[in-house]
Structure 1
């Protein structure tokens, strides 16, 4: 076993790194890639200097342990960076919008047409054709106020 560890050289680290990256292609999970990158870094370090096998294993461990948290930090989406922040909550994206009542609000309930969808609204009584502003969204029910 020690003979194998002593014989760890630059080419072994490079082969190990590319093998791990190849395994990542077969079983994607973005974990083996970073271990492969750590092995490639140790191989590159071995080209520059001739570290002992203990130093090589320590460098591999340090690179591998630091690569995964760094990847998680940079891969995490930033707040407000999504292409559509209201994708799964469409009604919340309507708050603040002014629209025309399709059916009058009678006894606190009426409807508006927004784009191609008819929404149920609640608010103060108003005749059809009145302009209202959406002030709150609760599921599929919108609360409106006179605009």
Structure 2
């Protein structure tokens, strides 16, 4: 079926496929189909150049399209995600968003480890040995543990 469509439409079949994929990108969010559409347009451009060549068979076109689709998708994702900035830099990094806050020790810090209560959560903390009730400031976060120092 693919061979028949390519044979009937000629090199324009890839142009049609590319434009359909680019149009679908406007409907489907995600910035993904644009790279596959670009691969189809590249194969379409090559088809215009090599259509009368004996080696330019539909199998080669399909393989080239598949390889270009993978290559353009990886390259495009790499380009678009390289300098991705966000308006929520601490999203899913709750510990990092607590740096600078103050709290009272819920459990004493013994041998460098203790607990504080911030909002509705008990957090494990690291710092110098301190008794319960000491006011501390969160100075850093390394995942699930917070580093504190006395105020």
Normalised by the size of structure 2, how large is the TM-score? 0.52
Unaligned runs of at least 5 residues, structure 2? 109-113
Cα deviation, residue 124, structure 1: 0.8
Corresponding residue of 1:64: 66
Cα deviation, residue 86, structure 1: 2.7
Change (3 A) 1:60 1:28: farther
Question: What does 1:29-40 correspond to in 2, within 5 Å?
Answer: 33-40=34-41
- Answer yes or no: is the 8 Å Cα contact 2:43–2:64 preserved in 1: no
Tell me the distance in 2 between the aligned counterparts of 1:132 and 1:50.
71
- Answer yes or no: is the 8 Å Cα contact 2:6–2:13 preserved in 1: no
Tell me the distance in 1 between the aligned counterparts of 2:24 and 2:92.
35
- State the secondary structure of the residue aligned to 1:44: helix
Larger Rg: 1
Change (3 A) 1:29 1:41: same
Tell me the distance in 1 between the aligned counterparts of 2:45 and 2:94.
50
Cα deviation, residue 70, structure 1: 3.5
Corresponding residue of 2:20: 19
Unaligned runs of at least 5 residues, structure 1? none
How big is the alpha-carbon RMSD for the aligned residues of Structure 1 and Structure 2? 4.5
Tell me the distance in 1 between the aligned counterparts of 2:32 and 2:106.
59
Corresponding residue of 2:111: none
- State the secondary structure of the residue aligned to 1:13: helix
Tell me the distance in 1 between the aligned counterparts of 2:115 and 2:35.
57
Normalised by the size of structure 1, how large is the TM-score? 0.53
Corresponding residue of 1:90: 94
